[in-house]
Amino acid sequence: MRVLVAMSGGVDSSVAAARLVEAGHEVVGATLKLWGGSSDSGCCSVGDVDDARRVAQQIGIPHYVFDMTEAFDESVVRPYVAAHAAARTPNPCVECNRHIKFDRLLERADRLGFDMLATGHHARVVHPPGQPHQLRRGADPDKDQSYVLSMLGQDQLARVSLPIGDLRKSAVRALATELGLRTAAKPDSQDVCFIRSDEGRQRFLGSRLAFHTATVVDSASGAEMGTVDALELVTVGQRRGFAHAEDGTRRYVSAVDPDTRTVFVGRAEDVATSAVRFVPGSVTWTASALGLDAPVIAQTSAHGRPSACTFGVDSDGPGVRFEAPIRPVAPGQTIALYDRADPDRVIGAAIAA
Amino acid sequence: MTSTEAPPVAYLDHAATSPVRPEVIEAMAPFAAERFGNASGSHRMARDARVAVEEARERVAHVLGADPTEIVFTSGGTESDNLAVLGTLADRARSGETIGAVCSAIEHAAVLEPMRAAACGAAAVLGVGAVTLDEVGVSPDGVIDLDRLAEVLGTQTVLVSVMTANNEVGTIQPIQSVADVVRRYAPVAALHTDAVQAAPYVDLAALTGACDLVSVSAHKLGGPKGVGALVVRAPNQLLPLLRGGGQEHERRSGTHDVAGIVGLAAALRVANATRAAEVSRVGALRDRLADALRCAVPNTVETASRSAVLPGHSHLRFAAVEQEELLVLLDRGGVCASAGSACASGAIEPSHVLVAMGVSPDDAGSAIRFSLGHTSTEAEVDQAVDVVANAVARLRR
We report the CATH number of the domain holding residue B329 as 3.90.1150.10
CA B117, CA B114: separation in Å to the nearest integer?
Answer: 5
Examine residue B111 and state whether it is found in any structural domain, yes or no. yes
Nearest-CA distance B345 → chain A (Å)? 5
CATH number of the domain bearing residue A345 = 2.40.30.10
Cβ-count burial B215-253 (b if 16+ within 10 Å, e if not): bbbbbbbbbbebbbbbbbbeebebbbbeeeeebbeebbe
Residues B336 and B211 in one domain: no
Residues B229 and B338 in one domain: no
Residues A228 and A304 in one domain: no
Examine residue A82 and state whether it is found in any structural domain, yes or no. yes
Whether B329 shows a pLDDT value over 50: the answer reads yes
CA angle in degrees (0–180, nearest 5) for B73-B77-B78: 110
Q: From residue A279, how far is each of A234, A288, A317, A320, B15 by CA, in Å?
A: 20, 19, 8, 12, 54
Query: Where does a domain end: A238, A271, A304?
Result: A271
Q: Does residue A278 sit in helix, strand or coil?
A: strand
Residues A10 and A73 in one domain: yes
Residues A329 and A267 in one domain: no
CA A135, CA A154: separation in Å to the nearest integer?
Answer: 9
**Which pLDDT belongs to residue B114?**
97
Q: Does B277 touch chain A (CB under 8 A)?
A: no
Query: Where does a domain end: B223, B242, B270?
Result: B270
What are the two backbone dihedrals, phi and then psi, of residue B163, each rounded to the nearest 5 degrees? Answer: -70, 150
Query: Where does a domain end: B220, B244, B270?
Result: B270
Q: Does residue B346 sit in helix, strand or coil?
A: coil
Do the strands A134-137 and A123-126 form a parallel or antiparallel pair, or are they unpaired? Answer: antiparallel
DSSP alpha helices (H): ranges in chain B?
22-28, 44-64, 77-82, 88-93, 109-120, 122-126, 146-152, 175-185, 204-210, 258-296, 323-332, 352-356, 361-364, 378-396
CA B217, CA B227: separation in Å to the nearest integer?
Answer: 6
Whether B279 shows a pLDDT value over 80: the answer reads yes
Residues B16 and B26 in one domain: no
**Which pLDDT belongs to residue A220?**
87
**Which pLDDT belongs to residue A43?**
46
Q: Which amino acid is at B313?
A: H
| Mean pLDDT (whole number) for A74-91 | 96
Neighbours of A4 (CB within 10 A): 28
> How many A/B residue pairs have CB atoms within 8 Å?
51
Residues B15 and B112 in one domain: no
Q: What are A249-257's contacts with CB under 8 Å, separation 24+?
A: A251/A218, A251/A225, A252/A327, A252/A328, A253/A328, A254/A219, A254/A328, A255/A219, A255/A328, A256/A87, A256/A214, A256/A231, A257/A87
More confident residue, A241 or B245: B245
What are the two backbone dihedrals, phi and then psi, of residue B25, each rounded to the nearest 5 degrees? Answer: -60, -40
User: What stretch of H or E contains B132?
Assistant: strand B130-136
CB pair distance less than 8 Å for A49 and B345: yes
Examine residue A265 and state whether it is found in any structural domain, yes or no. yes
To the query of whether residue A193 is one of the catalytic residues in this protein, the response is: yes
- Nearest CB among A26, A65, A112 relative to B2 is that of A26
Q: For residue A61, count CB atoms less than 10 angstroms from its CB and return exposed for 0-12, middle for 13-18, buried for 19 or more.
A: buried
Examine residue B289 and state whether it is found in any structural domain, yes or no. yes
Residues A280 and A266 in one domain: no
Q: Does residue A313 sit in helix, strand or coil?
A: strand
pLDDT in tens, A304-352: 999 999 999 988 889 999 999 999 999 999 999 999 999 999 999 999 9
**Which pLDDT belongs to residue B342?**
66
Q: Tell me which chain A residues have a C-beta less than 8 angstroms from the C-beta of B327.
A: 64
Q: Tell me which chain A residues have a C-beta less than 8 angstroms from the C-beta of B394.
A: 111, 113
Do the strands A26-33 and A2-6 form a parallel or antiparallel pair, or are they unpaired? Answer: parallel
- Nearest CB among A21, A50, A113 relative to B2 is that of A21
CA B87, CA B81: separation in Å to the nearest integer?
Answer: 9
**Which pLDDT belongs to residue B2?**
43
User: What stretch of H or E contains A224?
Assistant: strand A224-228
Name which of A251, A291, A278 is nearest A349 in CA terms. A278
Query: Where is average pLDDT lowest: A174-188, B12-26, B338-352?
Result: B338-352
Examine residue B133 and state whether it is found in any structural domain, yes or no. yes
CA angle in degrees (0–180, nearest 5) for B223-B225-B226: 125
**Which pLDDT belongs to residue B27?**
98
Name which of A177, A264, A257, A279 is nearest A221 in CA terms. A264
Residues B241 and B357 in one domain: no
Whether B3 shows a pLDDT value over 50: the answer reads no
Residues A232 and A347 in one domain: no
Q: Which amino acid is at A238?
A: Q
Examine residue B209 and state whether it is found in any structural domain, yes or no. yes
| Mean pLDDT (whole number) for B57-71 | 98
- Please count the residues of chain A: 353
| pLDDT more than 70, % of chain A | 97
Average pLDDT taken over every residue of chain B: 95
CATH number of the domain bearing residue B202 = 3.40.640.10
End-to-end CA distance of chain B: 24
Angle in degrees, 0-180, between the axes of helices A46-59 and A11-22, rounded to the nearest 10: 20
CATH number of the domain bearing residue A221 = 2.30.30.280
Residues B106 and B213 in one domain: yes
Q: Judged by CB atoms within 8 Å, which residues 36-65 of A form the interface with B?
A: 46, 49-50, 53, 60-62, 64-65
Residues B26 and B16 in one domain: no
**Which pLDDT belongs to residue A47?**
80
Residue A288's contacts (CB-CB under 8 Å, 6 or more residues apart) are: A132
Query: Where does a domain end: B270, B290, B322?
Result: B270
Residues forming beta bridges with residue B101, ordered by sequence position = B133, B159
Q: What residue in B sits closest to A49 (Cα-Cα)? A: B345
Query: Where is average pLDDT lowest: A18-32, A104-118, A216-230?
Result: A216-230
| Mean pLDDT (whole number) for B250-263 | 97
Examine residue B226 and state whether it is found in any structural domain, yes or no. yes
pLDDT in tens, B182-239: 999 999 999 999 999 999 999 999 999 999 999 999 999 999 999 999 999 999 999 9
Examine residue B3 and state whether it is found in any structural domain, yes or no. no
Residue B312's contacts (CB-CB under 8 Å, 6 or more residues apart) are: B14, B15, B170, B200, B201, B282, B283, B286, B371, B372, B373, B376
**Which pLDDT belongs to residue A45?**
67
CA A152, CA B126: separation in Å to the nearest integer?
Answer: 56
Examine residue A185 and state whether it is found in any structural domain, yes or no. no
| Mean pLDDT (whole number) for B238-266 | 97
Residues A259 and A114 in one domain: no
> Containing domain of residue B335, as a range?
10-20+275-396
| Mean pLDDT (whole number) for B125-151 | 95
> Containing domain of residue A233, as a range?
210-271
Query: Where is average pLDDT lowest: A204-213, A248-257, B141-150, B241-250?
Result: A248-257
Residue A318's contacts (CB-CB under 8 Å, 6 or more residues apart) are: A277, A278, A280, A283, A311, A312, A350
Residues B319 and B381 in one domain: yes
CB pair distance less than 8 Å for A26 and B347: no
CB pair distance less than 8 Å for B346 and A65: yes
What are the two backbone dihedrals, phi and then psi, of residue A302, each rounded to the nearest 5 degrees? Answer: -55, -40
Examine residue A193 and state whether it is found in any structural domain, yes or no. no
Query: Where is average pLDDT lowest: A141-145, A265-269, A328-332, B187-191?
Result: A265-269
- Nearest CB among A26, A49, A65 relative to B4 is that of A26
Query: Where is average pLDDT lowest: B26-35, B115-124, B150-159?
Result: B115-124
CA A302, CA A292: separation in Å to the nearest integer?
Answer: 26
What are the two backbone dihedrals, phi and then psi, of residue A193, each rounded to the nearest 5 degrees? Answer: -65, -25
Average pLDDT taken over every residue of chain A: 93
Whether A13 shows a pLDDT value over 70: the answer reads yes
Residues B227 and B370 in one domain: no
Whether A244 shows a pLDDT value over 80: the answer reads no
Residues B163 and B91 in one domain: yes
- Nearest CB among B2, B328, B329 relative to A27 is that of B2
Whether B4 shows a pLDDT value over 70: the answer reads no
CB pair distance less than 8 Å for A64 and B395: no
Q: Tell me which chain A residues have a C-beta less than 8 angstroms from the C-beta of B351.
A: none
| Mean pLDDT (whole number) for A270-292 | 94
Total domains present in chain A: 3
CA A260, CA B124: separation in Å to the nearest integer?
Answer: 51
Whether B164 shows a pLDDT value over 90: the answer reads yes
Q: What residue in B sits closest to A59 (Cα-Cα)? A: B2
Residues B223 and B242 in one domain: yes
Name which of B69, B74, B97 is nearest B87 in CA terms. B74
Residues A295 and A340 in one domain: yes
Name which of B36, B57, B49 is nearest B268 in CA terms. B57
CA B47, CA A336: separation in Å to the nearest integer?
Answer: 77
CB pair distance less than 8 Å for A21 and B329: no
Q: Tell me which chain A residues have a C-beta less than 8 angstroms from the C-beta of B5.
A: none
Q: Does B327 touch chain A (CB under 8 A)?
A: yes
Residues B257 and B286 in one domain: no
